[in-house]
Amino acid sequence: MLKKVNLYHDDIALLQYTGGTTGKSKAAVLTHKNILSNIQQLDIWVKPHISKGKEIIITALPLYHIFSFTVNFLYFYSIGSNNVLIANPRDLKSFVKELTKHKFTVITAVNTLFNLLLTSSKFRKIDFSPLKFSVGGGMAVLSSTAKRWKKITGTEITQGYGLTETSPIVSINPINTKFNGSIGLPVPSTDISIRDDTGNQLGYEEPGELCVKGPQVMSEYWNKKHDSLSSFTKDGFFKTGDIASIDKNGFLTIVDRKKDMIISSGFNVYPNEIEEYVSQHPYVTECGVIGIDDSNRGESIHLFIVRSSDTLREIDIIEFCKEGLTIYKVPKKVHFINEIPKNNVGKILRRKLRELKY
């Protein structure tokens, strides 16, 4: 005999595991309220740009990733969209062939996936006239990527920001505004606080840890009482672990992961800034930066590069960095490797870089 089960907003909907790019993966407890709130927050943002029952969205990220799960699947499914699932986006030939079959109106991806598509000559021949907007998340979108994407597809990459623990959306730029590296404005009913290491709130343009409060924020980590308590401020804000700043118009910019920050000769150095700059070199396909213990400097900056030409030398990169970076941000060592280690979604696994022999 079937028994009706009553569900409430605070009941657990799912245990969503974090990516584990900087440490061990943890299960974020997401309730029905968390997920439904985030869907409504997204709907307010994109409603003026979509037509219910008429959208075709390309889903190249795995559905077990919170970005793809909430945005591509739950939200676009709820408005009657045709969702095209790309089972293996690393198979570029098959991926592009599938894209040619559909007059897709929306595509979501991470920076590495946008970059991969841009390497295909057949991709550049696709008719992009039906494409309304492209959304980048999961990791920082590089300005060099966004510029090339705009040139080829005619759409700006609309960058947003979120976490497993926030269902995931925290902020997003207005659709199709010119790419500027910002992660946008907080979605409705979301409070933002930028704080220093002692918990004091910082002012405009002052980088500090991004803290978030809203209906989309998880209740706790599953069976991780200590981690749960230490992840929230005394006044209930979730500490994201990301260093960010906010301008006077309310736009947020991520500087880097707090755990990834390098302290070299007493200066704070953020890997994202170096990666953003180095990726503009014409012979750099992709790159990653980590800090290595150094008895003299505290940490020294090591840069890992996948190059498109064997003629590119370490001295070339060092000189290139000296032209556009402050001297203490210039890498002390450059390593050329065949592939930057990444997780299934495309995020750089810095812990794997640290395991490489150098």
* DSSP secondary structure of 57-119: EEE-S-TTSHHIIIIIIIIHHHTT-EEEE-S-TT-HHHHHHHHTT---SEEEE-HHHHHHHHT
Measured distance CA(61)–CA(92) in Å, rounded: 14
From the number of C-beta atoms within 10 Å of its C-beta (0-12, 13-18, 19+), residue 32 rates as: middle
For the segment 257-264, the average pLDDT, to the nearest whole number, is 86
Q: Encoding tokens for residue 219?
A: 């209740």
Residues 6+ positions from 135 with CB-CB distance below 8 Å: 71, 106, 107, 108, 109, 157, 158, 159, 160, 172
Task: Calculate the average pLDDT of the chain.
Answer: 93
pLDDT over 80 at 266, yes or no: no
Residues 6+ positions from 32 with CB-CB distance below 8 Å: 7, 8, 9, 10, 11, 13
DSSP assignment, residue 63? T
What does the pLDDT look like over 67-85, one tens digit per residue? Answer: 999 999 999 999 999 999 9
Single out the residue of 107, 18, 24, 26 nearest to residue 65, CA to CA. Answer: 18
Q: Calculate the CA 212 to chain-centre distance.
A: 16
Which residue has better confidence, 99 or 23? 99
What does the pLDDT look like over 298-330, one tens digit per residue? Answer: 889 999 999 999 999 999 999 999 999 999 999
> Is 0.75 surpassed by the pTM of this model?
yes
Q: Which amino acid is at 326?
A: T
pLDDT over 90 at 201, yes or no: yes
For the segment 135-148, the average pLDDT, to the nearest whole number, is 90
DSSP assignment, residue 73? I
Q: What are phi and psi of 109, to 5 degrees?
A: -165, 175
Q: Find the range with the poorest average confidence among 10-24, 121-135, 236-250.
A: 10-24
Confidence category of residue 348, pLDDT binned at 50, 70, 90? confident
pLDDT over 90 at 239, yes or no: yes
From the number of C-beta atoms within 10 Å of its C-beta (0-12, 13-18, 19+), residue 273 rates as: middle
Q: Could you identify the residue written with the tokens 């947020």?
A: 252
Confidence category of residue 93, pLDDT binned at 50, 70, 90? very high
Confidence category of residue 20, pLDDT binned at 50, 70, 90? low
